Structure 1
Amino acid sequence: MCAAGKDVGVGRSVPGRKSVDILLSVPEELKERMVNTIAWTRPHTGISTQQQFIRKAMADLCDQLERDYNGSRTFEPPVVLDE
Protein backbone atom coordinates (compact mmCIF):
# COMPACT_ATOMS: atom_id res chain seq x y z
CA MET A 1 0.00 0.00 0.00
CA CYS A 2 1.13 3.51 -0.70
CA ALA A 3 1.05 6.39 1.73
CA ALA A 4 -2.29 7.48 0.26
CA GLY A 5 -3.76 4.12 1.28
CA LYS A 6 -3.97 2.64 -2.20
CA ASP A 7 -2.37 -0.59 -3.38
CA VAL A 8 0.34 0.37 -5.88
CA GLY A 9 0.86 -3.23 -6.89
CA VAL A 10 -2.34 -3.37 -8.91
CA GLY A 11 -2.04 -6.20 -11.38
CA ARG A 12 1.30 -7.44 -10.10
CA SER A 13 2.07 -11.13 -10.35
CA VAL A 14 0.07 -13.04 -7.78
CA PRO A 15 -0.13 -16.83 -7.56
CA GLY A 16 -2.93 -17.90 -9.86
CA ARG A 17 -3.04 -14.56 -11.71
CA LYS A 18 -1.59 -14.51 -15.20
CA SER A 19 0.55 -11.55 -16.21
CA VAL A 20 1.09 -10.48 -19.82
CA ASP A 21 3.64 -8.17 -21.38
CA ILE A 22 2.52 -5.23 -23.52
CA LEU A 23 4.46 -2.82 -25.68
CA LEU A 24 3.54 0.79 -24.99
CA SER A 25 4.76 3.77 -27.00
CA VAL A 26 4.02 7.24 -25.68
CA PRO A 27 5.06 10.74 -26.70
CA GLU A 28 8.39 11.74 -25.16
CA GLU A 29 6.79 14.68 -23.32
CA LEU A 30 4.25 12.36 -21.65
CA LYS A 31 6.99 9.97 -20.52
CA GLU A 32 8.99 12.88 -19.07
CA ARG A 33 5.85 14.12 -17.33
CA MET A 34 5.31 10.67 -15.81
CA VAL A 35 8.95 10.37 -14.66
CA ASN A 36 8.83 13.83 -13.05
CA THR A 37 5.48 13.09 -11.39
CA ILE A 38 6.81 9.83 -9.94
CA ALA A 39 9.93 11.57 -8.61
CA TRP A 40 8.04 14.40 -6.91
CA THR A 41 5.12 12.38 -5.51
CA ARG A 42 6.85 9.18 -4.39
CA PRO A 43 6.82 10.16 -0.67
CA HIS A 44 3.05 10.71 -0.89
CA THR A 45 2.02 7.80 -3.12
CA GLY A 46 4.64 5.11 -2.61
CA ILE A 47 4.78 4.74 -6.39
CA SER A 48 8.45 4.49 -7.32
CA THR A 49 8.48 2.83 -10.74
CA GLN A 50 6.97 3.53 -14.13
CA GLN A 51 5.41 0.07 -14.10
CA GLN A 52 3.59 0.79 -10.82
CA PHE A 53 2.45 4.16 -12.16
CA ILE A 54 1.09 2.72 -15.43
CA ARG A 55 -0.65 -0.21 -13.68
CA LYS A 56 -2.31 2.18 -11.22
CA ALA A 57 -3.40 4.55 -13.99
CA MET A 58 -4.87 1.67 -16.02
CA ALA A 59 -6.72 0.23 -13.02
CA ASP A 60 -8.07 3.64 -11.99
CA LEU A 61 -9.38 4.43 -15.49
CA CYS A 62 -10.98 0.97 -15.81
CA ASP A 63 -12.64 1.48 -12.40
CA GLN A 64 -13.95 4.89 -13.46
CA LEU A 65 -15.32 3.70 -16.81
CA GLU A 66 -16.91 0.62 -15.23
CA ARG A 67 -18.52 2.85 -12.62
CA ASP A 68 -19.70 5.42 -15.19
CA TYR A 69 -20.90 3.04 -17.90
CA ASN A 70 -21.44 -0.44 -16.45
CA GLY A 71 -22.89 -0.14 -12.96
CA SER A 72 -19.44 -0.62 -11.37
CA ARG A 73 -19.21 -4.11 -12.90
CA THR A 74 -16.27 -5.39 -14.93
CA PHE A 75 -17.02 -5.28 -18.65
CA GLU A 76 -17.49 -8.64 -20.35
CA PRO A 77 -15.27 -9.48 -23.33
CA PRO A 78 -16.73 -8.13 -26.58
CA VAL A 79 -18.63 -10.52 -28.82
CA VAL A 80 -16.75 -11.26 -32.02
CA LEU A 81 -18.95 -12.35 -34.91
CA ASP A 82 -17.57 -14.46 -37.72
CA GLU A 83 -17.70 -12.55 -40.97
Structure 2
Amino acid sequence: NDSKTATITINPKVKWSDGQPLVAKDYEYAYEIIANKATHSQRYTSSLANLEGLEEYHDGKSNTISGIEMPDGENGHT
Protein backbone atom coordinates (compact mmCIF):
# COMPACT_ATOMS: atom_id res chain seq x y z
CA ASN A 1 0.00 0.00 0.00
CA ASP A 2 2.75 2.46 0.86
CA SER A 3 4.43 2.15 -2.53
CA LYS A 4 1.06 2.05 -4.31
CA THR A 5 2.04 -0.94 -6.41
CA ALA A 6 0.58 -4.33 -7.14
CA THR A 7 2.32 -7.33 -8.61
CA ILE A 8 0.14 -9.58 -10.71
CA THR A 9 1.40 -13.04 -11.51
CA ILE A 10 -0.46 -15.00 -14.17
CA ASN A 11 -0.68 -18.72 -13.54
CA PRO A 12 1.28 -20.33 -16.40
CA LYS A 13 -1.48 -22.93 -16.74
CA VAL A 14 -3.98 -20.26 -17.88
CA LYS A 15 -4.52 -20.46 -21.61
CA TRP A 16 -6.75 -18.90 -24.23
CA SER A 17 -9.38 -21.07 -25.90
CA ASP A 18 -6.92 -21.75 -28.73
CA GLY A 19 -4.37 -23.16 -26.28
CA GLN A 20 -2.02 -20.16 -26.33
CA PRO A 21 -0.80 -19.03 -22.90
CA LEU A 22 -2.11 -15.85 -21.33
CA VAL A 23 0.85 -13.46 -20.99
CA ALA A 24 1.59 -10.05 -19.48
CA LYS A 25 0.95 -8.19 -22.76
CA ASP A 26 -2.57 -9.68 -22.88
CA TYR A 27 -3.23 -8.28 -19.41
CA GLU A 28 -1.91 -4.85 -20.41
CA TYR A 29 -4.04 -4.96 -23.57
CA ALA A 30 -7.19 -5.14 -21.45
CA TYR A 31 -6.25 -1.84 -19.81
CA GLU A 32 -5.42 -0.33 -23.21
CA ILE A 33 -8.90 -1.18 -24.50
CA ILE A 34 -10.68 0.12 -21.40
CA ALA A 35 -8.66 3.36 -21.40
CA ASN A 36 -8.84 3.97 -25.16
CA LYS A 37 -11.09 6.98 -25.65
CA ALA A 38 -12.34 5.62 -29.00
CA THR A 39 -13.94 2.59 -27.33
CA HIS A 40 -16.18 4.74 -25.11
CA SER A 41 -15.84 2.04 -22.47
CA GLN A 42 -18.15 2.35 -19.49
CA ARG A 43 -15.50 0.53 -17.47
CA TYR A 44 -13.11 3.51 -17.57
CA THR A 45 -13.59 5.13 -14.17
CA SER A 46 -11.85 7.70 -12.03
CA SER A 47 -10.48 4.91 -9.83
CA LEU A 48 -8.79 3.34 -12.88
CA ALA A 49 -7.34 6.75 -13.68
CA ASN A 50 -5.33 6.37 -10.48
CA LEU A 51 -3.12 3.89 -12.33
CA GLU A 52 0.02 5.80 -13.30
CA GLY A 53 -0.12 6.86 -16.92
CA LEU A 54 -3.66 5.64 -17.61
CA GLU A 55 -5.16 9.13 -17.79
CA GLU A 56 -2.39 10.29 -20.13
CA TYR A 57 -3.03 7.24 -22.32
CA HIS A 58 -6.78 7.95 -22.26
CA ASP A 59 -6.21 11.59 -23.22
CA GLY A 60 -3.95 10.60 -26.12
CA LYS A 61 -0.88 12.22 -24.54
CA SER A 62 0.98 8.89 -24.40
CA ASN A 63 1.14 5.75 -26.54
CA THR A 64 1.73 3.54 -23.51
CA ILE A 65 0.53 3.19 -19.94
CA SER A 66 3.64 4.14 -17.99
CA GLY A 67 2.52 2.50 -14.74
CA ILE A 68 2.44 -1.00 -16.22
CA GLU A 69 5.76 -2.81 -16.14
CA MET A 70 6.52 -6.30 -17.40
CA PRO A 71 9.69 -7.45 -15.62
CA ASP A 72 9.61 -10.82 -17.40
CA GLY A 73 8.90 -9.20 -20.78
CA GLU A 74 5.69 -9.07 -22.79
CA ASN A 75 5.52 -12.86 -23.00
CA GLY A 76 6.19 -13.30 -19.28
CA HIS A 77 3.75 -13.98 -16.48
CA THR A 78 4.50 -11.01 -14.17
Q: Give TM-score, length-normalised by structure 1.
A: 0.27
Structure with bigger gyration radius:
1
Structure number with higher helix proportion: 1
Q: Give TM-score, length-normalised by structure 2.
A: 0.29
